[in-house]
Amino acid sequence: MDGNSAIAEAAIRAGLRCYFGYPITPQNELTEYMALHLGRRKGCTFLQAESEVAAINMVYGASLVGARAMTSSSSPGISLKQEGISYLAACELPAVIVNMQRGGPGLGSISAAQSDYFQATRGGGHGDYRTIVLGPCSVQELADMTMRAFDLADKYKIPVMILGDGVLGQMKEPVDFKREAPDVTPTREGALMGARGRASRVVKTFTSNPSELEEINWSLFRRYQLIKKNETTWDTFMTDDARLVVVTYGIAARIAKGAIKNLRAEGLKVGLYRPVTLWPFPDEPLRELSKNVKQFLVFEMNMGQMIEDVQLALAGQGEVSFYGRPGGVIPTPDEVGRVMSRLYYQKGLRS
């Protein structure tokens, strides 16, 4: 199954009630899968909105009344959704947003890229907020993380972004869905429903009292601390004896893994550190790793974004190099392998 369809099927099995989308390559298979399968389910809605702005605000509406709601897009469309994501974050509303990144800036290209890392992990819209950002690297992970995304969103009342890319969306791999779709989609407790048998409720942030808003920000950040503590996830590959560790995520991690296997066969002690949650960024395990590893290579399909988180995490422990290809260029394992082995020899790690 292709990655985009796998996300859609996983979302339906996670109890998705409403999907709102707008066509953009390379994620159209997701929208089309929803059109085919979600709209016909009892009580569920598939709607092609008039714009990404409308779509994310429809998600906001559906989330207000406690439905599991989702939208998907690719880079230019995600820019348009930032307003709505900021409102979702502010009003503590769960939602799942998929970004199948493509090359930018501007209209850019429709080829896979990772250039929206900053936008995704720093909030993206206006205001002091975060969203949980998941960085899958296989079709199976797309499916698993979609289900996890809905659970996290509900648990922490926060928008969750799945940060994929054009290759992940289009590539086909076997996938095992770990849940069956529920007969009745869930409704979140505490949602707006009309004030039957209770006092009326207001969902809002706007206030003429800055200290009230300050408290809202504090309460959001206390929750973010909790998320950091409980939900930070990462993956390692052959790091035990590694002298050079590549730090990379998503499809780039897949490419790097191929390179690492090849270099290992040549006797080079190289390994992989892969953040799975991009926010919260897994900084402590990376620091831990730097006790034994002094040479890191950050590899991204952009001009260098996650490298800032790596540098912050390492705080001067170990040396950090960078290799990146922006604009939708997809590097090959051989290319990345050459970069790694050059660095390996230059830094005298062979001896």
CA distance 193 to 207: 23
Q: Which is nearer to other proteins, 187 or 233 (CB)?
A: 187
Q: How far is the CB of 133 from other proteins (least distance, A)?
A: 22
Report d(CA 256, CA 244) in Å as an integer: 12
Q: Does 47 bind other proteins (CB under 8 A)?
A: yes
Q: Which residues in 118-177 contact other proteins (CB under 8 A)?
A: none
**Minimum Å distance from CB 203 to other proteins?**
4
> Which of 172, 201 has the CB closer to other proteins?
201
Nearer to other proteins by Cβ, of 90 and 246: the residue is 90
Interaction pattern, residues 27-46, with other proteins; x per rule: CB under 8 A: ------------------x-
Note whether 103 binds other proteins by CB under 8 A: no
**C-beta of 49 vs 330, nearer to other proteins:** 49
The C-alpha atoms of residue 108 and residue 42 are separated, in whole angstroms, by: 39
Q: Does 67 bind other proteins (CB under 8 A)?
A: yes
Q: Which is nearer to other proteins, 66 or 159 (CB)?
A: 66
Query: For residue 247, what are its two tokens?
Result: 């730090």
- Does residue 200 belong to the site contacting other proteins (CB under 8 A)? yes
* The only residue of 170, 205, 233, 236 in contact with other proteins, by rule CB under 8 A: 205
| 42: Cβ contacts below 8 Å, ≥ 6 apart | none
Q: Is 51 in the site for other proteins (CB under 8 A)?
A: yes
φ, ψ (nearest 5 deg) of residue 293: -110, 130
d(CA 277, CA 68): 21
Q: Which is nearer to other proteins, 55 or 163 (CB)?
A: 55
Q: With CB under 8 A, what is the number of residues at the site for other proteins?
A: 40
Shorter beta-carbon distance to other proteins: residue 11 or 245: 11
Please answer whether residues 71 and 47 qualify as being in contact, where contact means their C-beta atoms are separated by less than 8 angstroms: no
182 interacts with other proteins by CB under 8 A: no
Cβ proximity to other proteins, 200 vs 351, nearer residue: 200
Residue 184 interacting with other proteins (CB under 8 A): no
Q: Is 147 left (phi over 0), alpha (psi -120 to 50) or beta?
A: alpha
In contact, 142 and 102? CB cutoff 8 Å: no
Cβ proximity of 137 and 249 under 8 Å: yes
Question: Which of positions 81-100 make contact with other proteins (CB under 8 A)?
Answer: 83-84, 87, 91
57 part of the interface to other proteins, by CB under 8 A: yes
Residue with tokens 């897949």: 254
Tell how far CA 20 is from the center of its chain.
18
Find out whether 26 and 166 touch, Cβ atoms under 8 Å. Answer: yes
CB atoms within 10 A of CB 337: 22
- Rule CB under 8 A: choose which of 206, 211, 291, 351 binds other proteins: 206
Gap between the Cα atoms of 324 and 20, Å rounded: 33
- CB-wise, 60 or 299, nearer to other proteins? 60
Subset of 290-319 contacting other proteins (CB under 8 A): none
Those residues with Cβ within 8 angstroms of residue 347's Cβ, 6 or more apart along the chain or in another chain: 244, 295, 319
Does residue 193 bind other proteins (CB under 8 A)? yes
**Which candidate, 184, 193, 291, 202, places its Cα nearest to that of 239?**
291
Chain residues binding other proteins by CB under 8 A are 17-18, 20, 45, 47, 49-51, 53-55, 57-67, 69, 83-84, 87, 91, 192-197, 200-206
